[in-house]
C-alpha cells in the first residue's frame, strides 16, 4: 500500500464515526441548482488530519534521509490504555522475591505488538548531534544515569528531559552492587534517586543495576527508596554490532535493547552511528520503537 493510500485508510478509520453521521446533516444535502454544498465539519476535520499525517510522514522521511537511514523508522502504536502485567523473568528471581514484593526484574515487556524499547546507560558521552538526531527522528528512548559521569554536565541531561526523555537510576558510581553491604547498596541507589530528583524534578521509579548484577539486598534497597521496576535487556547494540541474550539472535516483540552513551574515545564511531545501526535493523524487521514508560 502506498503512503497516500495508507494515510487515507488511517484517516477514514479514525474519523468513521464522525463521517457516518454526515447524511443526517442538512449541510450534506446538495442544494437545488446543483451547486456544491459547504463542506461539513467532519469532512474538513478529515482533510485537516490527512494533511497533518502527510506532513508528519514527509518530515520523518526527510529526517531519515538526512541522518543516513536505510528506511523511514516505523511509528509506534499509541500507548496501551491497559498496561501489561510486569513480572520477574524466570530464573531472574532472588530468594523471597514474591513474598517480599520486590520490584520485578525483566528483559521483555509482554506485548504482541512489534515494538522494541531503546535504553541507554550511564551518561559518559554527551553528544549534541545525538540529541538533534533523536529529536528530528522522534525516536523515544529511556536513559539510566550514573552521577559520577553526568555531574560534569547536568545541563545536557536537562535538555534531554525537556525533550521528553525519561531519566532513571543507574547508581551514583556504577559499582558491582552484590560486592557491597546492604547499607552500601542503599547509598548508591537512594543517593542517585536524590540526585535525579534534585536536578531534574522527578524521583525515578526505574532502576538498572550496573552490569545487570544484583542480589536480594539490591532489590530491597531499591524498593526502599521508591523503585518499582528493574528493567534489564534482551539485546545490546554497539556502533559496529549487536549482541543477544537469546540463543537464536532474534528480536522479539517487547524486547528491551541496551546501549551506552559512548563516542569515538571508546567506539569506532559516534552515537548517531550506533542509532543508525539500531534503527536500520529494527525497521527492516518490521519493528517500531516504543517508549518504555508508556508500558509500565
Per-residue confidence (pLDDT) for residue 2, from 0 to 100: 45
Q: In the numeric block, which cell numbers belong to residue 174? A: 556504577
CA 100 from chain center: how many Å?
29
DSSP 3-state of 129: helix
Count of beta carbons in the 10 Å neighbourhood of residue 280: 15
Where do we find the cell 514484593?
Answer: 101
Per-residue cell: 187: 547509598
Q: How far is CA 201 from the centre of its chain?
A: 20
Q: Give pLDDT, residue 50.
A: 76
Give residue 7's pLDDT.
41
Report the first-to-last Cα separation within the chain, whole angstroms: 33
Find cell 459547504 and name the residue. 38
pLDDT at 37: 52
What the block records as the C-alpha cell of 284 is 527492516
Q: Identify the pLDDT of residue 202.
A: 96
Predicted local confidence at residue 51, as pLDDT? 80
Query: Which are the contacts of 55, defined by CB distance < 8 A and separation ≥ 6?
Result: none
Answer whether 169's CB lies under 8 Å from 205's CB.
no
Nearest to 58 by CA among 161, 149, 136, 174: 136
34 phi-psi bin (left φ>0, alpha ψ -120 to 50, beta other)? left
What pLDDT does residue 119 have?
Answer: 98
Q: What is the pLDDT of residue 1?
A: 45
pTM, to two decimals: 0.84
pLDDT tens over the chain, length 296 residues: 444 444 444 444 444 443 334 344 434 444 444 455 555 567 677 777 778 778 888 999 999 999 999 999 999 999 999 999 999 999 999 999 999 999 999 999 999 999 999 999 999 999 999 999 999 999 999 999 999 999 999 999 999 999 999 999 999 999 999 999 999 999 999 999 999 999 999 999 999 999 999 999 999 999 999 999 999 999 999 999 999 999 999 999 999 999 999 999 999 999 999 999 999 999 999 999 999 999 99
Amino acid at each position: 500500500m502506498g503512503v497516500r493510500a495508507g494515510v487515507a485508510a488511517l484517516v477514514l478509520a479514525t474519523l468513521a464515526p464522525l463521517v457516518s453521521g454526515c447524511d443526517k446533516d442538512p449541510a450534506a444535502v446538495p442544494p437545488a441548482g446543483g451547486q456544491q454544498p459547504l463542506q461539513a465539519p467532519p469532512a474538513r476535520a478529515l482533510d485537516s488530519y490527512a494533511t497533518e499525517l502527510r506532513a508528519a510522514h514527509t518530515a520523518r522521511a526527510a529526517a531519515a534521509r538526512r541522518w543516513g537511514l536505510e528506511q523511514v523508522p516505523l511509528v509506534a502504536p499509541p500507548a496501551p490504555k491497559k498496561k501489561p502485567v510486569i513480572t520477574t523473568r524466570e530464573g531472574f528471581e532472588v530468594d523471597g522475591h514474591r513474598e517480599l514484593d520486590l520490584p520485578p526484574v525483566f528483559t521483555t515487556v509482554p506485548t504482541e505488538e512489534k515494538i522494541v524499547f531503546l535504553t541507554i546507560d550511564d551518561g559518559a558521552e554527551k553528544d549534541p548531534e545525538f540529541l538533534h538526531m533523536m529529536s528530528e527522528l522522534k525516536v523515544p528512548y529511556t536513559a539510566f544515569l550514573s552521577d559520577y559521569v553526568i555531574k560534569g554536565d547536568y545541563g545536557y541531561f536537562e535538555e534531554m528531559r525537556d525533550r521528553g526523555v525519561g531519566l532513571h537510576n543507574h547508581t551514583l558510581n556504577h559499582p558491582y552492587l552484590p560486592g557491597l553491604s546492604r547499607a552500601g547498596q542503599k547509598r548508591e541507589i537512594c543517593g542517585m534517586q536524590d540526585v535525579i530528583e534534585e536536578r531534574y524534578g522527578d524521583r525515578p521509579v526505574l532502576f538498572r543495576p550496573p552490569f545487570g548484577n544484583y542480589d536480594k539486598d539490591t532489590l530491597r534497597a531499591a524498593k526502599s527508596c521508591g523503585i518499582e521496576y528493574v528493567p534489564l535487556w534482551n539485546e545490546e547494540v554497539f556502533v559496529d554490532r549487536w549482541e543477544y541474550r537469546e540463543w537464536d539472535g532474534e528480536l522479539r516483540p517487547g524486547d528491551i535493547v541496551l546501549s551506552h552513551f559512548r563516542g569515538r574515545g571508546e567506539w569506532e564511531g559516534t552515537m548517531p552511528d550506533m542509532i543508525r545501526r539500531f534503527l536500520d535493523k529494527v525497521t527492516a524487521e518490521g519493528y517500531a520503537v516504543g517508549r518504555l514508560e508508556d508500558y509500565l
